[in-house]
Amino acid sequence: MTAAVAGDQTAFALLLQQEADIGYRLAYMVLHERSAAEDAFQDASIRAWRDLHQMRDRSRWRPWFRQIVVNAARDRARRAIRRPEAELNEGIATPNDTAAIPALLDLRAAFLTLDPTDRAILALRYGTGLEIAEIAAAVRMPVGTVKSRVHRALAKLRGVLAR
């Protein structure tokens, strides 16, 4: 970490490599598009490199970087223009059991009805297993707000799926 903060690009690349899988998954869970998730992760990497010297607590690299990834993905989601449904389903992972595909598509469609921030919060909670306090730090919200947003987003998903 110290070498990366001092400007060592190789040390910074190693830090990014450790977070690449989870960072991409977080971005993908918010954006649901491969190229947009890759772009968001790239944006986050550039922001992190630029702002690394400003990080107060170097032991909190992972939550700090994940927050940047989520913010980059949310920024892209806000700027995104509507795409045809066929494009939305590009790259969706499908199980081997083809009978489960309609349910998976329904869940995906329901997930996309959520606000990008709620998608990010659910991605952090259920996609990475972060605790509520860690999510609150990552999205810069009070713990109570994160709890209520998780509850509200899950209720909305249940409502959409029950139709």
List pLDDT tens digits, range 4-46.
777 778 888 888 888 888 889 888 888 888 888 899 999 999 8
Q: What is the CA radius of gyration of the chain?
A: 17
The confidence score (pLDDT) of residue 106 equals 73
User: Cα(118)–Cα(99) distance, rounded to whole angstroms?
Assistant: 29
User: Cα(120)–Cα(11) distance, rounded to whole angstroms?
Assistant: 28
Give the largest CA-CA distance in the chain: 55
The confidence score (pLDDT) of residue 15 equals 86
The confidence score (pLDDT) of residue 78 equals 77
Locate the domains of the chain by residue range.
2-162
List the chain residues with pLDDT less than 50.
81-92, 94
Measured CA distances, 57 to 6, 53, 60, 163 (Å): 15, 10, 6, 46
Percent of the chain having pLDDT more than 70?
Answer: 84
